[in-house]
Structure 1
Amino acid sequence: MDSLKHALKEWAVAIEALERGRTALLIRKGGIREKSFAVPEARFLLYKSYEHQRPELLKLAYRDLLRDSPSRRDDEPIVLTSFAEVVGAYEISEPEALAALEPHHMWSREYAEKRFRWRPKKPLTVLVLRTHLLPEPVELPYSESYGGCKSWVELESQVPIEGATPALDERDFEELAAPALEVLQDLEPASVGTS
């Protein structure tokens, strides 16, 4: 049976946008505990976190997702509803490239620029993701090892992904991702996968 154990921690509102087919992009620079952001696997579960998300860090068009998001704490049992496949991974090292990508992501311009300036010697990583919805939500107990400001979590148990369905069909996904991929195609690709 097909299953995954590796999960990317991301704001619940961003995962909701991926699951609803409203975005295909995540922009990452890694957590405080990480020296840099790397993508160790081409497929991974999406782990919703709630602690840092705030409406002013999102574009107005995405704030409704935050209003709809349940009020949860990060130390409660985790509920997994999707996984993602990396379609593209790119590094942004110049402010001009970030500005060109601005129409295609969900973050406020100020927040995206703040992430870009944090640890200025490290590039931002832009992930273009195809999201798949699990047939049923999977609830797992919270573990202390999942806590803290880090990007990747190795879950204590495998999560079956058999029967998952794409959030968007092929044509709709291509329509959503194509404008961003056009901007990203000339950038340095980020490596994906260690195995």
Structure 2
Amino acid sequence: MLRAGSKRPARMAIMLITTSNSIRVKPRLALYAFITGIDSGGEGGGRSRRLRWQAGCRCRQGLAFMMPSPCRGDAMLDLGLREWWAICQGLSQGAICAVARKGGIHEHRGGLFRLQHRRFALIPALEHQAPERLLPALRAHHPIPIPPPGQLLLSAWAEVRAHWLLRRREEVDQLAALPGIQGLSQQELHSRFTYRGEEWLSLVLLQASVWRQPPPLGDHPAYGGCRSWIPLQAPLPIADSAPVLPAQQLEQAQRTLSQHFGDSQDMPE
């Protein structure tokens, strides 16, 4: 590859790093690649540029942990995930780090949830939440506050870090017994597991980030209905936001969940 005006090719170094000689993970996940430098000099100025990029995952103790994709400060969100107010608050405050999903009557594919997007705003839903359907730690977020007229109570957005499909009842019981992961009661988890006569449950590990000053989000009829994914009428910036939980805590959560439920499913783009 030649830089414009230069006679010599840019130099590019790629390093493959693993932490163990016996790591057993999918090949595409066992890569931690750095393009550590593109050093190109011009004929006259002698100046050099160095570009750094990193992608892939970090392999630690046999576990592949998906690294977050770089977020530009001017990036925008054009989709939202509807979730109960109490669950949104739990994610925003770091009390939980995952959501258990099955779907609603207005979903595509016969009312069943599908993880379609990697990054989205958390849109609080005011319907159907009841204290008995929540874990005790999240019941303090009930009743639901009344938002200003024409506005939604927005506080956070999220990025998917991993997800699993639970297909056995004993897995649902295991999930219910894990502290600090999700916010639904054991009875509610089983109710969702058997919803529509299909026994499975989607568990999604999230990195939630909160805005220091949440952007305004006006309510709209298109945001209603029992469905998961909401195209936003106006995009939301992710600037001026910060992750709720440190990366190490999410890594530990993923290790715990992988021990119970196996490798993460393929990630959405």
Q: TM-score over 0.5 for the alignment?
A: yes
2:159 paired residue among 69, 80, 85: 85
The residue identity in structure 1 corresponding to 2:137 is A
The residue number in structure 2 matching 1:96 is 170
Tell me the amino acid that sits aligned with residue 113 of structure 1: H
Structure number with larger C-alpha Rg: 2
Q: Given the alignment of the two structures, is residue 182 of structure 1 paired with residue 265 of structure 2, yes or no?
A: no
Q: Report the alpha carbon displacement of residue 177 of structure 1 after superposing the two structures with TM.
A: 4.8
Q: Tell me, yes or no, if the aligned pair for 2:213 and 2:240 is still in contact at 8 Å.
A: no
**Structure 1 position 135, deviation (Å):** 2.6
Instruction: Tell whether the 8 Å contact from 2:162 to 2:254 is kept in structure 1 after alignment.
Output: no
Q: Deviations along 1:76-131, whole A, 9 cap, x unmatched?
A: 42232111111111111211111111123321111111111111326211001110
1:177 to 1:16, Cα distance in 2 relative to 1, 3 A: farther
Q: Which has the higher helix share?
A: 1
Q: Distance in 1 between matches of 2:186 and 2:153?
A: 30
Segments of structure 2 that go 5 or more residues without pairing to the other structure are 1-73
Aligned partners of 1:24 and 1:177 also within 8 Å: no
TM-score (norm 2): 0.65
1:61 offset after TM fit, Å? 2.4
The reply to whether residue 63 of structure 1 matches residue 136 of structure 2 is no
Structure 1 residue 171 corresponds to structure 2 residue 171:
no
CA distance in 1: counterparts of 2:254 and 2:121, whole angstroms: 20
1:15 aligns with 2:108: no
SS at match of 1:157: strand
CA contact (8 A) 1:33 1:150 kept: yes
The answer to whether the 8 A contact 2:147-2:153 is kept is no
Q: Which residue of 2 aligns with 1:113?
A: 190
Identity across matched positions, percent: 27
TM-score, with structure 1 as normaliser: 0.88
After TM superposition, give the deviation of residue 176 of structure 1 in Å.
Answer: 4.7
Residues 106-164 of structure 1 deviation map (CA, whole Å, 9 limit, x = unaligned)? 21111111111111326211001110112311222211111111101000111000131
- Helix, strand or coil for the counterpart of 1:98? helix
AA at the equivalent of 1:59? L
Distance 1:79 1:106 in 2: 19
Report how far residue 62 of structure 1 moved: 2.1
Match of 2:113 in 1: 37
Partner residue in 1 for 2:54: none
Task: Find the residue that maps to 2:174 and give its secondary structure.
Answer: helix
Indicate the larger mover: 40-49 or 138-147: 138-147
1:82 and 1:156 map into 2 onto residues whose CA distance is: 17
8 Å CA contact retained: 2:164, 2:261: yes
d(CA) in 1 for partners of 2:96 and 2:255? 11
Unpaired segments ≥5 residues, structure 1: none
Match of 2:77 in 1: 4
Change in CA separation of 1:76 and 1:103 when aligned onto 2, cut-off 3 Å: farther
1:192 and 1:176, CA in 2 relative to 1: closer, same or farther beyond 3 A? closer
